[in-house]
């Protein structure tokens, strides 16, 4: 897993790519979430369009991020979940995460 992050229209965008299976990248992802919360940037969109595969650790990473952001008074949404939609549906997490077909729609949801 790799990720890049930037701010667009006052929304933090975190683009995730590759296979989400845990490890150091997961720890770095959580660290990045906490950094943005400390900067009072609590509107976060996780773009999953380039994710090839995700295991239960990846699901846990997203759930943890959602909980952390909600507890800080923020909002996390997912964009482009096509490749992992089946795992979100099977685990019924599709109903837990707010999700959009495109990053643009996700960003618009904050206005």
The per-residue pLDDT of the chain, averaged, comes to 94
**Local confidence band at 22 (pLDDT 50, 70, 90 cut-offs):** confident
pTM of the model: 0.94
Whether the per-residue pLDDT at 108 is higher than 90: the answer is yes
Whole-number pLDDT of residue 85? 92
What is the rounded average pLDDT of the residues 32-39? 97
**Local confidence band at 91 (pLDDT 50, 70, 90 cut-offs):** very high
Whole-number pLDDT of residue 63? 95
Distance CA 23, CA 11 (A): 26
**Local confidence band at 38 (pLDDT 50, 70, 90 cut-offs):** very high
Q: Residue 76 belongs to what domain range?
A: 2-108
Number of domains in the chain: 1
Between 88 and 22, the higher pLDDT residue? 88
Whole-number pLDDT of residue 77? 98
Identify the CATH number of the domain in which residue 33 sits.
3.30.750.24
Beta bridge partners of 100: 79
In three-state secondary structure terms, 50 is strand
Whole-number pLDDT of residue 19? 92
Whole-number pLDDT of residue 51? 95
Q: How many CB atoms lie within 10 A of CB 107?
A: 19
Question: How many residues are given for the chain?
Answer: 111
């Amino acid at each position: 897993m790799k990720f890049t992050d930037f701010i667009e229209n006052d929304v933090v965008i975190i683009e995730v790519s590759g296979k989400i299976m845990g490890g150091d990248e997961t720890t770095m992802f959580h660290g990045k979430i906490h950094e943005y919360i400390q900067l009072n940037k609590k509107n976060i969109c996780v773009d999953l369009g380039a994710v090839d595969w995700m295991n239960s650790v990846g699901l846990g990473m997203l759930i943890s991020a959602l909980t952390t952001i909600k507890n800080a008074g923020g909002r996390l949404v997912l964009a482009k979940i096509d490749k992992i939609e089946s795992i979100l549906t099977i685990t019924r997490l599709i109903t837990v995460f707010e999700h959009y077909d495109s990053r643009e729609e996700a960003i618009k949801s904050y206005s």
